[in-house]
Structure 1
Amino acid sequence: MPNRLSAPERARFTPAPRRTRRIDGPLPILASALLWGTTGTASSLAPTGAPATGIGSAALVLGGLLLFLTDRSAWSLPRQCGTRERWLLAVGAVAVTAYPLTFYPAVTRTGVAVATVIALGSAPVFTGLLGWLARQGRPGGRWAGATALAVLGCAVLVLGPELAGGGAAVDPVGVLLAALSGLSYAVYSLIAGRLIAAGHPSGGVMGAMFGGAAVLVLPVLLAGPTGWLLSARGAGVVLHLGVITTFLAYRLFGHGLRHTSAQTATTLTLAEPAVAAVLGVAALGERLPALSWCGLAVLAGGLAFLTLPGRR
């Protein structure tokens, strides 16, 4: 039967192609970086004697269990996955567990500034290289330029006070631990992005990985002192870190990975130290030298270059 519809009528009945705006993915990821930026301020309020590893482990146990228990798709995801995807989930859970067990000791050995720069600055590089090796796409020039700007700005922002004051010796073991935390962050970001791109729900992927990590890290928490958890301040810190910076932040991060590559996502999370620095100035009365403000401007420029739509 011949098509008797006119061209305007055919256009009216033809479904319009779905538009994917570039801002859909970056916004949830930047929001998660905003929440992660409160981690340092919140953890500084922990009771005296609370071990750094214990604080991170307690937050992961609470946040991981919340991510797992509040999303039913996380319960059935391992059964729906094939053998290879189950292995990816297991490796992702181990990588999630490794982050607090390497980052917090790195902070103890090298200080917050150096550990933050190495961990967050190395994560986008590791993500780009691992994604390329795993054939998830070679990073483009726009990503490389924006990442270089963002890493440079992050380093100048965080290390500005130490550079202005002459700096101090850096512990090589602490540097290695910080780099390992950046590698673990890159690994579980890539795995989450790959499973979400395969059609699995983002909440289920995050819930399964972080739920498994909560079980793995629980013995570490119980092996150390736990009396600080019974105090009002200790419980408040863990509630904030577990609910806000883990549960809510990674829900947003997983949603953003549905629309953004893991390479771009890890670069965007370099906004975290910027948020932490501004929060320290506003809430804790800290002062930043002019060099750090210049680094903040460079970091913002790199993130804006990556986030704003480019020429088509």
Structure 2
Amino acid sequence: MAATLFGTTGTAQALGPEGTTPLGVGAVRLVVGGMGLMAVLPLVGGLRRDAVRLWRTPAGVAIGVCTALYQVSFFAAVQQAGVAIGTLAAIGSGPVLAALLARFVLGERPGRSWVLATGLCLVGLTLLVTGGGAAQRVDLVGVALAILAGLAYAGYTVLAKGQLSAGQEPSTVMAAAFGLGGLLLLPLLATQPMAWLLEPRGVGMALHLGLVTTTLAYLLFVRGLAQLPAGPVTTLMLAEPVVATTLGIVVLDERLTLISTTGVGLLLLGLVLQGLGAATGKRREEPSQPAPTPAEASNGPAGATT
């Protein structure tokens, strides 16, 4: 569900007003989304003072920096290297980098299902974004920025998983991360043209990107992260380009080549395999109810005596 909401960001930006910039839109999204998470935190079981307290911890600061760094580096990568290459390098590197970080930071070992599913998804993503037939020069600076975005995404996923494992409330972790990330990006807004925010379409786009694709989406994201390892979660997030592509066809009247369509099919297959593998692994981790001892069996219901 989180990935589905993430997948609407590109279409929302395409339907927005003239005069926007990628960095401006990214900063507004994080600022509005961070404020939204802090605002609804008491309604979803968290406390604002706990979120602010996380800002004073090394992990809390690192997560906030990662959220801000992802927004800036991803939109800069897309601007520098183009949508196809930038998206492929950023979103494609995320699951691999997250699994590596989770292995060393959290001790999580990726299973066979993750390897197979992620491999299918990465092949599918490559076909999807490069299957249009148009040649594109690879910009090394743009690719480096995209991989930095993937590393930032992996970083906040793994660090947030560590905070959840330490007993932090899920919504508090996300509110702290995006609240701090939004504060860090406030100065960026002063460097971008923001007249589009005075238009009704601009306000609508900002609210959708901030409240729907950030506040709501990351509340869903962190609930899933609390139940599953970091590696499978980032692989499942690869549903985002599938949703974005579908909306591009239905809403923006875009067209897919046969190669790109094959890529979507491989992505969907990889996501199904990852979902099944993650669910199976979750069931295996659930502790089974211990069988009663003979003495307990003879005592009948709890509290009864023979």
With structure 1 as the length reference, what TM-score do the two structures score?
0.85
Q: Does 1:48 align with 2:21?
A: no
What SS is found at the alignment partner of 1:170? coil
Equivalent of residue 105 in structure 2, options 134, 140, 148? 134
**Structure 2: which amino acid aligns with 1:171?**
D
Deviation at 1:76, TM superposition (A): 2.4
Residues 154-190 of structure 1, C-alpha deviation per residue, up to 9 Å, x if partnerless?
11112211xx23x111111111111111110000011
CA contact (8 A) 1:34 1:272 kept: yes
Deviation at 1:135, TM superposition (A): 3.6
Residues 120-173 of structure 1, C-alpha deviation per residue, up to 9 Å, x if partnerless?
100001101111111431212221111111111111112211xx23x1111111
Q: Does 1:191 align with 2:162?
A: no
Q: Does 1:286 align with 2:254?
A: yes
CA contact (8 A) 1:74 1:207 kept: no
Deviation at 1:80, TM superposition (A): 6.4
Unmatched 5+ residue regions in structure 2?
Answer: 285-306
Which residue pairs with 2:37 in the alignment?
67
Distance 2:124 2:280 in 1: 21
Q: Does 1:159 align with 2:126?
A: no
Equivalent of residue 200 in structure 1, options 168, 174, 190? 168
**Structure 1: which amino acid aligns with 2:129?**
V
**Equivalent runs, 1:141-290 vs 2, <5 Å:** 141-161=112-132, 164-165=133-134, 167-290=135-258
What is the alpha-carbon root mean square deviation over aligned residues?
1.7
Question: How many pairs were matched up?
Answer: 277
Equivalent of residue 3 in structure 2, options 33, 41, 44? 33
Q: Does 1:106 align with 2:74?
A: no
CA contact (8 A) 1:271 1:299 kept: yes
What SS is found at the alignment partner of 1:300? helix
User: CA separation of 1:74/1:219 partners in 2, compared to 1, >3 Å: closer, same or farther?
Assistant: farther
User: CA separation of 1:78/1:211 partners in 2, compared to 1, >3 Å: closer, same or farther?
Assistant: closer
Which residue pairs with 2:50 in the alignment?
77
CA contact (8 A) 1:62 1:214 kept: yes
Unmatched 5+ residue regions in structure 1?
Answer: 1-30
User: CA separation of 1:78/1:46 partners in 2, compared to 1, >3 Å: closer, same or farther?
Assistant: closer
Distance 2:205 2:55 in 1: 38
CA contact (8 A) 2:20 2:196 kept: yes
Deviates more, 1:272-281 or 1:141-150: 141-150
Tell me the percent identity. Answer: 41
Distance 1:151 1:228 in 2: 36
Deviation at 1:226, TM superposition (A): 1.7
Deviates more, 1:152-161 or 1:201-210: 152-161
